[in-house]
Structure 1
Amino acid sequence: MIRVALDAMGGDLGPRIAFDGAVDILSRHQNVVITIYYSPCSGLNLPTPNERLSLVVCSDVIDGDEEIVLSLFRRRNSTLYRSLDALAQCSSDVVVTVGNTGAMVALARHILGLLRPKLYPALIRELYSNPLRCLVDLGANVHCPPSMLVGFAELGAAYIEALSDETPKVGLLNVGVESTKGSAVIKEVDGVLSNQSWPMYLGYAEGTELFEGEKNVIVCDGMVGNAVLKASEGLLSFMMKRFGNVDGASSLFETFYQTERRHGACLVGVRGNLVKGHGCSDLTAMIGAIEYGIDIARADLYSAMKARLCNEIL
């Protein structure tokens, strides 16, 4: 059985999306059990618990706009804290949340711990699933020194190896491919990666290489990655609205969005499997995020990445 800990709070549309998503998932996946962590609120209709669906009442919710302060780590009865603690206690195999990204990263580091010392966690988003291609980081880290970006390359490469038969080929997102371009940080990362035997490093990548080309791990800092991702999603949404009525266009866009791209991102670099969904997730996106969590739990992603990054000499 795959055991999912689902943080139902924090999304823009409220816990109903998480409830309905869990019920849908359980109707289609017989080898999954879900524990929902929620906080009571007026007018909330709860799903009926059964042998594969449990409800855990929590007295605290971390809102999406809360700052990361020390008191966050004392809020042990928040839905996010308790779902992560279940993962730390090995009573779940994966956590899925649509809550506060900063709080999620901070609490995951605090409760779960780092996969490897000085290897900072990063959010990975699959741009394609077949062949597997990913972007890292998406916003877990905004200000990144060279060592952090080198770590992102290693995390992305380990992710590719764990979930596919493909060889990781890393590119460093830059304003151009010429050696003279880029900040001092980017140039230093380029030098370090060029001298490592693993992962395979193919040099700078321009924005045009995000969705095609031989590089399947695109590395950048969290501010750039988040902006790139949301701009890409915004463009896709715009095109669906503008050209959705054109013959064949709507099905093409929907196929790209729903089958070529998973919903949500995976936080890697902590000691456990964790999926972060969009705060604005609708039912389809919530279901997709839970299914993503099931996939990485079934592949035992954390253990595979740990073996690659901790038990071998890079």
Structure 2
Amino acid sequence: MSAPIVAIDTMGGDFGPRLIVQASIACLKATPSLHLALVGQPSLIEPLVSGLSAAERARLQIVAASEAIGMDERPSQALRGKPDSSMRVALELVRDGKAHACVSAGNTGALMALSRFVLRTLPGIDRPAMVAAIPTCGGFCQLLDLGANVDCTAQQLYQFAVMGSVAAKALGIEQPRVGLLNCGTEDIKGNQQVRQAAALLSEARNLNYVGFVEGDGLYRGEADVVVCDGFVGNAVLKSSEGLVSMIAERLQAVFRQGLLARLAGLLALPLLKRLKADLAPARYNGASLLGLQGIVIKSHGSTGAQGFQSAIERALVEIHVNLPQRLSGLLEGHLP
């Protein structure tokens, strides 16, 4: 394929262009084939790229956009009231074939609304779903939806399961195990939508459906794809990140309690650093909006430079495997 081009919404997120451009430049330097389109206000972006070499600058273009979407802005206002927002212009680059993917740390609701309007969904898909890798005992699983769809029908949960399974196959898992996140493993547990979705998935011949998965089973690696509505998924994601931070802080406090504890901490330090790196939320930052006719990656608005780099790297993986085209080609045989 041609050199990957990623459109970056530089005006989104909690920290503005400085952090996003910094992370984008780090990826540009680390990936010689990567080309970037930095979308936003040129007067803010130009000073941040002035130190690039001529060869690096040749792989980067600045695309002007006069408006920015606030993190607390209503999606309807972003859709109708800001036609020249950096987020929308970046998505239009993907639509027009001028970029292979869009990465934004901006307003999630606005990104979902604009993505559906600009790029459209794949045939047979009602709504895109946000999916990201969650670390487990044996590796990681794909969890969706992570907040794009707070209320979901059984049919939409079924569609999420199909998309998650196809995406997991594209990422290298031959027969991904698909589970529904639930408050128990018995057939009578869960709300009506989850039980109805389970009935649909049980009849699907092209899916490796393994049944209900509880919260602890998610982290034990009982499934490669775990499906839930966006309200539950977002709560799980934020709780996971908070738990990792809490454990790290508690361990640091324990190892400061007395001389013996400090000695034990020094001995355990290499292992703790490795564990922290393996579980760091920044490493798994970057949620894909599956089901669109184009690649869109949502980064946490509050992430640091390393986290935004991870989001760009996720975009590069999806570009490499041509994920939307794979989804489009395989969904027809799965969807009822």
- C-alpha contact (below 8 Å) 2:162/2:335 kept by paired residues: no
Q: Does 1:177 align with 2:185?
A: yes
- C-alpha contact (below 8 Å) 2:140/2:221 kept by paired residues: no
The aligned counterpart of 1:8 is 10
- C-alpha contact (below 8 Å) 1:240/1:253 kept by paired residues: no
Superposition pairs of residues 200-211 of structure 1, within 5 angstroms: 200-211=208-219
Q: CA-to-partner distance for each residue in 1:69-113, whole Å, 9 max, x for gaps?
A: 166245221000000000000110111100011111111110001
Gaps in structure 2 of 5+ consecutive residues: 256-264
Task: Go from structure 1 to structure 2 and tell me whether the alpha carbon gap of 1:56 and 1:43 turns closer, same or farther (over 3 Å shift).
Answer: closer
Q: Does 1:110 align with 2:132?
A: no
Q: Does 1:303 align with 2:311?
A: no
Q: CA-to-partner distance for each residue in 1:1-21, whole Å, 9 max, x for gaps?
A: 110100011211111111111
d(CA) in 2 for partners of 1:176 and 1:42? 51
Task: Go from structure 1 to structure 2 and tell me whether the alpha carbon gap of 1:229 and 1:17 turns closer, same or farther (over 3 Å shift).
Answer: same
Gaps in structure 1 of 5+ consecutive residues: none
Equivalenced residue count is 314
Q: Secondary structure at the match of 2:273?
A: helix
Q: CA-to-partner distance for each residue in 1:38-68, whole Å, 9 max, x for gaps?
A: 1367798331372111112211111111112
209-218 or 91-100, which moves further after superposition? 209-218
Shift of 1:242: 2.1
Task: Go from structure 1 to structure 2 and tell me whether the alpha carbon gap of 1:240 and 1:142 turns closer, same or farther (over 3 Å shift).
Answer: same
The aligned counterpart of 1:193 is 201
* TM-score, normalised via structure 2 length: 0.87
Q: 1:243 aligns with which of 248, 251, 255?
A: 251
- C-alpha contact (below 8 Å) 2:283/2:306 kept by paired residues: no
Q: Does 1:136 align with 2:136?
A: no
Q: Does 1:285 align with 2:312?
A: no
133-142 or 288-297, which moves further after superposition? 288-297
Q: CA-to-partner distance for each residue in 1:88-144, whole Å, 9 max, x for gaps?
A: 001101111000111111111100011123432000011149855210100010011
The aligned counterpart of 2:287 is 265
- C-alpha contact (below 8 Å) 2:21/2:45 kept by paired residues: no
Superposition pairs of residues 14-163 of structure 1, within 5 angstroms: 14-39=16-41, 45-48=47-50, 50-69=57-76, 72-73=79-80, 75-128=82-135, 131-163=139-171
The aligned counterpart of 2:262 is none
- State which structure, 1 or 2, has the greater radius of gyration over its C-alpha atoms: 2
Task: Go from structure 1 to structure 2 and tell me whether the alpha carbon gap of 1:289 and 1:208 turns closer, same or farther (over 3 Å shift).
Answer: same
Task: Go from structure 1 to structure 2 and tell me whether the alpha carbon gap of 1:51 and 1:310 turns closer, same or farther (over 3 Å shift).
Answer: farther
CA RMSD of aligned residues (A): 2.2
Task: Go from structure 1 to structure 2 and tell me whether the alpha carbon gap of 1:165 and 1:219 turns closer, same or farther (over 3 Å shift).
Answer: closer
Task: Go from structure 1 to structure 2 and tell me whether the alpha carbon gap of 1:292 and 1:217 turns closer, same or farther (over 3 Å shift).
Answer: same
- C-alpha contact (below 8 Å) 1:272/1:302 kept by paired residues: yes
Identity %: 32
AA aligned opposite 2:241: E
- C-alpha contact (below 8 Å) 1:132/1:164 kept by paired residues: no
Task: Go from structure 1 to structure 2 and tell me whether the alpha carbon gap of 1:128 and 1:116 turns closer, same or farther (over 3 Å shift).
Answer: farther
Q: Secondary structure at the match of 1:281?
A: coil
142-151 or 163-172, which moves further after superposition? 163-172
139-148 or 39-48, which moves further after superposition? 39-48
Task: Go from structure 1 to structure 2 and tell me whether the alpha carbon gap of 1:266 and 1:71 turns closer, same or farther (over 3 Å shift).
Answer: closer
d(CA) in 1 for partners of 2:156 and 2:45? 45
- C-alpha contact (below 8 Å) 1:153/1:170 kept by paired residues: yes
Higher helix share goes to which structure? 2
Shift of 1:278: 0.3
Shift of 1:25: 1.0
- C-alpha contact (below 8 Å) 1:236/1:253 kept by paired residues: no
Q: Does 1:275 align with 2:297?
A: yes
The aligned counterpart of 1:233 is 241
Task: Go from structure 1 to structure 2 and tell me whether the alpha carbon gap of 1:313 and 1:236 turns closer, same or farther (over 3 Å shift).
Answer: closer
Q: CA-to-partner distance for each residue in 1:163-220, whole Å, 9 max, x for gaps?
A: 1133121111111001121111111111111111121111111001112233111100
